[in-house]
Amino acid sequence: MPTNQTESKESTGLASTPATGRQRLPLIVWMLGVVTFVMGTTEMIVAGLLPEVAGALDVSIAQAGLMITIYALGMVIGTPIMAVLTLRLPRKATLIIALLVFAIAHVVAASTDSFTVLLVSRFIAAIATGTFWAIGAVVAANAAGEEAGAKAMGIMVGGVTLATVIGVPLGTATGQLLGWQGPFWALAVLSAGCAALLWKVLPSSPMEKTSANVRAELARLRKGRLWTVYVATALIQAAFLGVYSYIAPQLTERAGAAEGIVPLIMIAYGIGALTGTTFGGRFGDRNPYTVIGLSVAGLIITMTVLFLWGDNLTVAIVFFTLMGLFGFAANPILVSEAMRVAGPDGVLPIALSNSFFNIGIALGSGLGGVAIASTLAEQGVPALGLVLTIAVAIPCVGLGLTAKKALAK
pLDDT confidence of 144, banded at 50, 70, 90?
low
- In-domain check, residue 8: no
pLDDT at 311 over 90: yes
Helices and strands in the chain: count of H runs, count of E runs? 20, 0
Q: How many CA atoms lie within 13 A of 332 on its CB side?
A: 37
pLDDT at 184 over 80: yes
* Amino acid 211: pLDDT: 52
- In-domain check, residue 13: no
pLDDT at 8 over 80: no
CA 35, CA 160: separation in Å to the nearest integer? 9
CA 83, CA 95: separation in Å to the nearest integer? 11
- In-domain check, residue 323: yes
CA 177, CA 368: separation in Å to the nearest integer? 27
- In-domain check, residue 1: no
- In-domain check, residue 239: yes
Q: How many CA atoms lie within 13 A of 320 on its CB side?
A: 30
pLDDT at 23 over 50: yes
Higher confidence at residue 193 or residue 154? 193
Q: Is 27 exposed, middle or buried (0-12, 13-18, 19+ CB in 10 A)?
A: exposed
Higher confidence at residue 341 or residue 251? 251
Q: Quote the percentage of the chain above a pLDDT of 90.
A: 35
* Amino acid 378: pLDDT: 93
* Amino acid 119: pLDDT: 95
The number of distinct structural domains making up the chain is: 1
Question: Which one-letter amino acid corresponds to residue 391?
Answer: A
* Amino acid 195: pLDDT: 92
CA 62, CA 84: separation in Å to the nearest integer? 34
* Amino acid 11: pLDDT: 41
CA 104, CA 310: separation in Å to the nearest integer? 39
Conformational region of residue 223, where left means phi above 0, alpha means psi within -120 to 50, and beta covers everything else: beta
Conformational region of residue 179, where left means phi above 0, alpha means psi within -120 to 50, and beta covers everything else: left
> What predicted TM-score, i.e. pTM, was given to this entire model?
0.73
Higher confidence at residue 279 or residue 14? 279
Quote the mean pLDDT of the chain: 83
- In-domain check, residue 4: no
Q: Is 314 exposed, middle or buried (0-12, 13-18, 19+ CB in 10 A)?
A: exposed
* Amino acid 12: pLDDT: 42
At 321-353, the pLDDT tens digits run 999 999 999 988 898 888 888 876 677 887 888
At 197-224, the pLDDT tens digits run 888 877 664 444 455 567 777 778 888 8
CA 92, CA 96: separation in Å to the nearest integer? 6
At 65-119, the pLDDT tens digits run 889 889 988 888 888 888 788 777 787 888 899 999 999 999 999 999 999 999 9
Domain of 332 in residue numbering reads as 25-408
Q: Which among 409, 359, 352 has a CA at the least distance from the CA of 138?
A: 352
At 348-368, the pLDDT tens digits run 887 888 889 889 988 998 899
* Amino acid 314: pLDDT: 96
CA 360, CA 101: separation in Å to the nearest integer? 24
Give Cβ neighbours of residue 63 (< 8 Å, ≥ 6 apart): 54, 115
For residue 363, count other CB atoms closer than 10 A to its CB. Answer: 22
- In-domain check, residue 349: yes
- In-domain check, residue 385: yes
Q: Any idea what the CATH number is for the domain that residue 280 is in?
A: 1.20.1250.20
